[in-house]
Amino acid sequence: MKRYWKLMLLLIAAFAVSCTNKRTYKEGIVRDEFVFVFQGAPFRSPHAATLAEATNGTLLASWFGGTYEREPDCCIYVARYEDGHWTAPENVANGILDDSTRVATWNPVLFQVPNGELQLYYKVGPNPREWWGMKITSTDGGKTWSEPEHLPEGIIGPIKNKPEFVDGKIISPTSTENDGWRVYFEISDDLGKTWHKTGPVNDGYNMAAIQPSILKYADGRLQALCRSKNRAILQTWSTDGGESWSEMTKTSLPQNNSGTDAVTLTDGRQLLVYNHLLPPGDKYKGGRTPLNVAVSEDGENWSAALVLEDTPDSKFSYPAVIQTSDGLVHIAYTWNRVKIKHVVVDPKKLKLTPIIDGKWPGAKMK
């Protein structure tokens, strides 16, 4: 009898492998394009895209672009998706401080206040340890923008990924890098006029994390997933609307010290975009290919959905993801540091294969 059950398990495993091998990991993708034509673009290297759907239904993308990251000519650019195509990139903010001083801008984050203004947060400074938070706003779907304003002292805004609106509060996921890698959250009860912040969730060293993204659950819990130096995506949970957070722990998913983003779908599932890559040996930093999409119902057990990119010796990084009012999922990411890629996904058409022991189905972990 034992031999019979052992044989049955082997047959089931073989069947599962054969089914996995038939996967393209492209099921559900309905559009795949670049946001701008590189020839003639007013920058050499774009990075750190963000997405939002304005109240009027316009889809917007933003990123910073210049000679390269950290260079003083890095400015914030915005493009709008109108009449079936992206508008030309528009420079909406820079790091000019005075007639003789200019520093880089970094990591724009778009956020549409429900029934309110469209906000664009960004950072200005020579590096992530010394930067400060800025904001511009729009009331016409991103066609025109306000003059830049400094965020309040001690507030730097969402560091890479979008805020979430929970029980009338904007919860902004942020982090610092000047004393280890520490995650915390900035909260506004008045749509961004004033802010307070939580204490750090992690110690910055044993658990070294930045750039959290926030997921929401029907029972009111919040989960934040974070980039880390711990060879795994890290997580923390809140049961009081983001005012306090649990001790940070590892998820079952690998991390290569690169940005991730996630979104809670209207059907309650969680969708994560990340590089499913474990660095070699005990290193915490690895390459930035492939770029993957995984889906979960509970934030703990994940299934493989998409491989957006997998070209060897390439860099696909810093994804942003939202779900628009028509139910489609939009993903933007840096494509080899020369373009911004935009992928549209129908979540109803996704095929899912469980991720077991942190290994992408059908792939060998390096």
CA separation for the pair 133, 112 (Å, rounded)? 18
238-253 pLDDT tens trace: 999 999 999 999 999 9
pLDDT at residue 20 greater than cutoff 80:
no
- Ordered by start, the domain boundaries in the chain are 28-354
- At residue 364 the predicted structure's pLDDT band, cuts being 50, 70 and 90, is low
Distances, alpha carbon 224 to alpha carbons 5, 112, 185, 350, in Å: 41, 20, 10, 23
- At residue 362 the predicted structure's pLDDT band, cuts being 50, 70 and 90, is confident
Mean pLDDT score, 77-105? 96
CA separation for the pair 247, 256 (Å, rounded)? 21
Q: What is the DSSP string of 182-251?
A: EEEEEEESSTTSS-EEPPPSS-SSSS-EEEEEEEE-TTS-EEEEEEESSSEEEEEEESSTTSS-PPPEEE
Put the strands of the sheet holding 316-323 in their side by side order: 29-34, 339-345, 329-335, 316-323
Mean pLDDT score, 253-269? 98
DSSP-derived 3-state class of residue 288: strand
pLDDT at residue 225 greater than cutoff 90:
yes
Phi, psi of 60 (to 5 degrees): -125, 150
Q: Where are the alpha helices (DSSP H) in the chain?
A: 2-21
User: In this predicted structure, what is the pLDDT of residue 22?
Assistant: 81
CA 176 to chain centroid, in Å, comes to: 17
CA atoms within 13 A on the CB side of 303: 14
Mean pLDDT score, 110-117? 97
Q: What is the DSSP string of 24-45?
A: -S-TTEEEEEESS-STT-S-SE
User: In this predicted structure, what is the pLDDT of residue 40?
Assistant: 74
Angle at 156 between CA 151 and CA 157, to 5 degrees: 90
User: In this predicted structure, what is the pLDDT of residue 282?
Assistant: 95
- At residue 3 the predicted structure's pLDDT band, cuts being 50, 70 and 90, is low
User: In this predicted structure, what is the pLDDT of residue 363?
Assistant: 72
pLDDT at residue 18 greater than cutoff 60:
no
Average pLDDT, the chain: 94
User: In this predicted structure, what is the pLDDT of residue 308?
Assistant: 98
Mean pLDDT score, 194-205? 98
Class of domain 28-354: mainly beta
User: In this predicted structure, what is the pLDDT of residue 2?
Assistant: 46
Say what percent of the chain tops pLDDT 70.
Answer: 93
pLDDT at residue 269 greater than cutoff 50:
yes
pLDDT at residue 17 greater than cutoff 60:
no
146-190 pLDDT tens trace: 999 999 999 999 999 999 999 999 999 999 999 999 999 999 999
> Is the Cβ–Cβ distance between 222 and 214 less than 8 Å?
yes
Mean pLDDT score, 100-114? 97
